[in-house]
Amino acid sequence: MTKTPTGKNTSGRGQRELRVRVKTAKGRKLSSTLWLERQLNDPYVQRAKKEGYRGRAAFKILELDDKYRFLVPGARVVDLGCAPGGWCQVAVERVNALGEKSGKKRGTVLGVDLQEVDPIPGAEIHQLDFLTDDADEKVKGWLGGPADVVMSDMAAAASGNQQVDHLRIITLCEHAAWFAFDVLEEGGTFVAKVLAGGAEQELMTILKKNFTKVANVKPPASRRDSSEKFVVAQGFRGKRHEATDAEDQDIDPDHE
């Protein structure tokens, strides 16, 4: 199980929390200074550097997998929008893509992204737009069959308008879901980031129609001031179903 970093100094009276303050440099915006200060004081950022992950987002998928157990040895995993690669790194470890776990099945990790991504040991990375017509067939060809897990930490470029950004990421997530329907093995899992804002209901309805269980969760590694959540849809029904109703589905509105 992953442990939540505390970011605290446990020695000394009162166990005072150490915090780095950053002064606004000439020519640098206040927003940039605040971002830098937050990064320097974020225990997940510090831990990612220490443990060799490419970003703090790695702990989000670690925490989700600790709870829902979808990255199992031998699984075939597709990571959509995989840059910079932290989710792929976690998947490689957990599905035994390097074959380092004796007696365990060896899995496959396939990352795709619009931009070039630095190589990740144990993962196969392709520069690909997953929205192109033949992307699903290419992915299944690279995998050697259907996927057990399709996951996405993608987010559309921020516009500065909260409502517009919400709609953009929900639309992106819907496209990722339809892609998952085309490449997932029956019983497979779909994991994706969404933003709370009201427009995600249609997405949830689609997922509830196509999976036996859908969880809506905010992992501890997700910043408290962020509106991001993650959907974890498990038990793919094996055939694309249109979203006409949501009866008899199992929903877990889990907000950790």
Q: Are 160 and 154 in contact (CB under 8 A)?
A: no
What is the model's pLDDT at position 2? 52
162-183 and 135-143 helices cross at what angle (nearest 10)? Answer: 50
- Is residue 133 domain-shared with residue 213, that is, in the same domain? yes
Residue with tokens 């962020």: 226
Question: Which structure tokens are listed for 44?
Answer: 């997940």
How many angstroms separate the Cα of 254 from the Cα of each of 68, 132, 146, 216?
Answer: 12, 33, 28, 5
Number of domains in the chain: 2
Answer yes or no: pTM beyond 0.85. Answer: no
Whether residues 43 and 131 fall in one domain? no
pLDDT along the chain (256 residues), means of 10: 46 43 51 48 79 93 98 98 97 97 96 97 98 97 97 84 83 96 98 82 93 95 86 91 49 47
Query: Does any domain span residue 5?
Result: no
Same domain, 44 and 93: no
Q: Residue with structure tokens 């953009």? A: 168
pLDDT score of 158: 74
Please state the residue numbers annotated as binding site for S-adenosyl-L-methionine.
85, 87, 113, 129, 153
List active site positions: 193
pLDDT in tens, 174-208: 999 999 999 999 999 999 999 877 668 889 999 99
Q: Per-residue pLDDT tens for 212-250?
A: 999 999 999 997 878 889 999 999 998 766 654 444 444
108 in the same domain as 205: yes
* 119 shares its domain with 29: no
Residue 182 sits in a domain whose CATH number is 3.40.50.150
Q: Is the dihedral of CA 120, 52, 86, 188 positive or negative?
A: positive
| 46 lies in the same domain as 131 | no
Residue 104: CB atoms within 10 Å: 13
State the pLDDT at residue 99. Answer: 96
Question: Per residue, what are the HEC states of the chain?
Answer: CCCCCCCCCCCCHHHCCCCCCCCCCCCCCHHHHHHHHHHHHCHHHHHHHHHCCCCCCHHHHHHHHHHHCCCCCCCEEEEECCCCCHHHHHHHHHHCCCCCCCCCCCCEEEEEECCCCCCCCCEEEEECCCCCCCHHHHHHHHHCCCEEEEEECCCCCCCCCHHHHHHHHHHHHHHHHHHHHHHEEEEEEEEEEEECCCCCHHHHHHHHHHEEEEEEECCCCCCCCCCEEEEEEEEECCCCCCCCCCCCCEEECCCC
| Residues spanned by the domain of 192 | 57-252
